[in-house]
């Protein structure tokens, strides 16, 4: 079993806070170090996890860490990386992140860490919520979630094995792919759904919100993620712009096809259109705990 001796978590929001709680349960012998920009955020961490060592100094947080996980928004990761390589780090240090985009993250951060001989491997646990902050953190957030790793040909095998073991110990199903493949897949199954939830919400309510009292499960389920942090999602969509645009172009084509079917009144073709979507959706497995 992977037993990292000291794990540094940088930025204790929903993912970082949930990581801290999960690590305490799954790695009971590990020292947990948490960095936050604000001391108030560290107070929240101490309330949920009294044993954690908190600091507003990245250099202090990195002391003795064998694994560091960047959990801040993607645009802030490079500045954090530069502070990490300037700190007094251990020879065993391995760095990863939990960002929703990997092409720009790996391209930017890998050379920064390589300059000090520190391996960096991108990670993306497919877990989260539209809610944000340590207050919503859950120790079981990663149980049965897919975690996408994006190693490169130059990635040391020992570092990759350690990271695989870390996420597997937290309960994740570990998948590996290139950064480009990651961004293409995630644009389709994460970024596009968010964009479509936003569009559905605007189309349904922007010009006339009097239908809100009528909303039921279908509308809530379809639009839930539109309640996500707009600043965070703006950054995600910008960082993965090319793949998101391609996905939106495909969605636009299907939307136009549906409009044409409704205009034509062709009942058989409309049923076939809906059936093709149902057949694809039925291929998506339910979360393990919901399987009958």
The per-residue DSSP string of 181-228 comes to: HHHHHHIIIIIHHHHHHHHHHHHHHSS-GGGGGG--HHHHHHHGGGGS
Q: Which long-range contacts (CB under 8 A, 24 or more apart) does 114-117 make?
A: 115/85, 116/85, 116/89
CB-based burial label for 181 (10 Å; 0-12, 13-18, 19+): middle
Q: Tens digits of per-residue pLDDT, 158-184?
A: 999 999 999 999 999 999 999 999 999
Binned at pLDDT 50, 70 and 90, residue 136 comes out as confident
Q: Tens digits of per-residue pLDDT, 40-89?
A: 899 999 999 999 999 999 999 999 999 999 999 999 999 999 999 999 99
Whether residues 126 and 255 fall in one domain: no
Whether residues 10 and 124 fall in one domain: yes
Whether residues 119 and 187 fall in one domain: no
Whether residues 150 and 274 fall in one domain: no
Q: Which of 64-78, 92-106, 129-143 has the lowest mean pLDDT?
A: 129-143
Residue 284: inside a domain, yes or no? yes
Tokens 């919503």 correspond to 136
Binned at pLDDT 50, 70 and 90, residue 3 comes out as low
pLDDT of 259 strictly over 50: yes
Q: Which of 126, 152, 177 is the last residue of a domain?
A: 177
> What pTM did the predictor assign?
0.91
Whether residues 117 and 18 fall in one domain: yes
Provide the CATH number for the domain around residue 45: 3.40.50.720
The mean pLDDT of 141-155, rounded to a whole number, is 95
Whether residues 115 and 222 fall in one domain: no
Whether residues 187 and 146 fall in one domain: no
Whether residues 127 and 249 fall in one domain: no
CB-based burial label for 251 (10 Å; 0-12, 13-18, 19+): middle
In which domain, by residue range, is 195 found?
182-290
| Backbone Cα Rg of the chain | 21
Query: Encoding tokens for residue 80?
Result: 């954090």
Whether residues 134 and 155 fall in one domain: yes
Binned at pLDDT 50, 70 and 90, residue 287 comes out as confident
155 φ/ψ angles, rounded to the nearest 5 degrees: -65, 125
Q: Tens digits of per-residue pLDDT, 203-248?
A: 999 999 999 999 999 999 999 999 988 998 999 999 999 999 999 9
The answer to whether 6 and 65 are in contact (CB under 8 A) is yes
How far apart CA 158 and CA 143 sit, in angstroms, is: 24
Whether residues 72 and 214 fall in one domain: no
Determine the pLDDT at residue 122: 98
Q: Which of 142, 177, 212 is the last residue of a domain?
A: 177
Residue 66: inside a domain, yes or no? yes
- Count of domains in the chain? 2
Determine the pLDDT at residue 81: 98
Residue 1: inside a domain, yes or no? no
Q: Which of 177, 199, 217 is the last residue of a domain?
A: 177
Tokens 């009958």 correspond to 292
Over pLDDT 90: what percentage of the chain?
88
Query: Encoding tokens for residue 251?
Result: 């969605």
* Mean pLDDT, the chain, integer: 94
Beta-sheet strand order (sheet of 6-10): 53-55, 31-35, 6-10, 67-70, 94-97
Provide the CATH number for the domain around residue 196: 1.10.3660.10
Give the HSE-up count for residue 213: Cα atoms under 13 Å, Cβ half-sphere.
1
């Amino acid at each position: 079993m992977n037993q990292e001796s000291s794990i540094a978590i940088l930025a204790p929001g929903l993912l970082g806070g949930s990581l801290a709680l999960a690590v305490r349960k799954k790695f009971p012998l590990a020292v947990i170090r948490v960095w936050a920009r604000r001391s108030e955020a560290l107070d929240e961490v101490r309330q949920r996890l009294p044993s954690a060592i908190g600091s507003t100094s990245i250099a202090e947080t990195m002391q003795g860490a064998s694994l560091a996980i960047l959990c801040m928004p993607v645009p802030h990761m490079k500045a954090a990386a530069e502070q990490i390589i300037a700190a007094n780090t251990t020879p065993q240090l391995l760095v990863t992140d939990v960002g929703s985009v990997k092409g720009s993250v790996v391209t930017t951060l890998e050379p920064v860490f390589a300059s000090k001989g520190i391996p960096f491997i991108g990670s993306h646990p497919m877990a989260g919520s539209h809610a944000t902050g340590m207050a919503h953190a859950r120790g079981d957030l990663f149980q049965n979630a897919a975690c996408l790793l994006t190693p490169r040909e130059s990635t040391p095998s020992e570092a990759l094995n350690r990271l695989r073991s870390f996420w597997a110990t937290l309960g994740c199903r570990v998948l590996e792919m290139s950064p480009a493949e990651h961004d293409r897949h995630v644009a389709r199954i994460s970024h596009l759904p968010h964009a479509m939830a936003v569009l559905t919400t605007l189309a349904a309510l922007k010009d006339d919100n009097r239908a809100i009292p009528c909303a039921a499960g279908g509308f809530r389920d379809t639009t839930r993620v539109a309640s996500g942090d707009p600043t965070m999602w703006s950054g995600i969509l910008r960082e993965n712009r090319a793949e998101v645009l391609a996905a939106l172009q495909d969605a636009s084509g299907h939307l136009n096809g549906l409009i044409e079917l409704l205009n034509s009144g062709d009942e058989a073709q409309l049923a076939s259109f809906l059936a093709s979507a149902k057949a694809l959706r039925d291929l998506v497995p339910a979360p393990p705990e919901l399987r009958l």
